[in-house]
Structure 1
């Protein structure tokens, strides 16, 4: 468990409590390992000025599944040998206290000391099967990103062209993770600069152009399938879905889109009907229908497994938030995990809140409500200003208040306000949120008038 430690912001000088990790046991704290590998361990954001604050402290890393025990004492602490040994001994006692009884093994008598933090990270990665060659490739990716980040806008296309062969899936994943990490640490300006670099990489690299073409094709397929579903009318029946699935037989892209959009339609009764249709079909058509049935079963199982994994992860994260010892620790945890605070997490949070309300657990209701409000607050901070304004407009208590907000602020955003409303409306359309779409249409008309 992290220790609540008073930390002083080097920028504004204010002190605040932060959950500092000193012992990371992977079996009990897998998130600690992720933070360490991402370079975000014991990195916080000042609640007063928003500056990034990193705590320098000795810490111990333990992965029992690989019999790996390491300790890192930052050299900048300049601890004399007796104090250094005492610090390591204290960390070992902390680890022993949280381990299950009887789990102490011989390799734990002497932790391996890492001379540098990067050396510890490299050792952990090698234990996970990451080779030195893979690590060098990652360093090369970071070197390219560093060059792009420091380059003037007009020279970035040529740098991208020179490194075109290095830009692949891993490169784009590294870039996305860096953006998320900078945003979570409160380094908004760096995150925005990296986002601009990401746009240039997509536009000027061979791999990026392929990604954009694929994304456009997938979007077109999703839109086509969504329109086909809408064409079934307000109250489609199983026979309609069966006919639509048969139309897409052999077209895996459209079948995936169909299952992803209307997974609940593919229930036990649907497969009973499909099996009956196979039995009645001419002999030369049965194999095609059987292949369709098998593929639909695979797709529904994949969607279900993914959904269950997402919900399980969200539930674990909610438990971590609920176990926070105080408000400052909770705020720190929320900011550390802002990249995964998505719709699934909010759904799990609201479901738990509703259950607590129905069971009359007032203390739990208060705690979950507090978590919900803090999460929404952090998510609003992460939004671009124009998107935050649209969100505030939708939350206006009355049409009069909404109009007042538009009159006072619409011209500051200009045409980007209309573009953002259109983007939100398109996203809501894909989710079938008809009531919100109607409100957005009314909002757009009012925004147009305010901008005129």
Structure 2
């Protein structure tokens, strides 16, 4: 159990006074997130609400891991006071923590906490207890430094050069480190950072693939981008253009706008000033629509994150979800899935179960509101293959053209890598048509 208190802090940068939350204990088995913050060097950080500068709160705290019988006490060297006063502080903190535990969780090893005067020595011993060697820790630090260096690239050429020069260090550990940063940004609702790091991950992943595979994918991507550019240029209706941008957003990157700039220059070079002005205006319109849609997506995700936090705090999450069923949308499930992935990464079983339960209830509520053919398709896909015909026979009245059209629509929307699922859906469609024909 963590001991938390509110402390008054003055920002070291802008001198603004504010109140911050300070933890005086970490119970690693019950609060793995606090342990993770400690290892990342982000435990007890106070962020100024005025300028955003973060500063560390220097205070003693207890670290407890019941699974390994670890009981440590961190006492910053800058705390001052005599040795007797420090021992008194340690004793008071230990008593507060032990008293907060149920009687059956109080153990003898808690009577003599191991003392640490530096944060790094404490973190090293925690990681060592987890079986992580100093060599592995150093490797993680190197990957983090490399990631920071690559992320600061000012051009595509610089990014490609840095990735090429560091090819031997861009390994599974590098991508795991990058994924940790992405998950951390998502958990803190820093969506801009999360999206930027995700895009960087895609770029690095592409650059580190075998050359033949890179060339093939780059060729395919260029063709798709060129096709999208033609559609955008030829679309005169503003609403259809807005829809087109929404659907093709992943293709509208730096290369897309370079290609559009080439079209403008070509029109100018041929003396077609009217077309050049039209394309220039179109570029401004597309950029404005992208900004508008990106901002709407950010707002939607932020609202979904706040909604999920409220659901988690509710004593009856299912009732609250039903009362707010209109807020269960794609953004909600995106945030929910991101939190589940983060809980899996932290190995937080309690959080994983709670979030999965919320997802099950939310999906059930949506299914209740779905059209009959959608509900039937969901039921069939959850049923074992050998039992599907019997279910379709029971629900023969729902096997109309709408059901068949729904299955066809799902098949058409599946990417090539989901060939197995597409085949399964085709078998289901044929089975439904056969059952319907039998009357």
TM-score range, shorter chain: 0.3 to 0.5
Highest Rg: 1 or 2? 2
Provide the TM-score with structure 1 as the length reference: 0.44
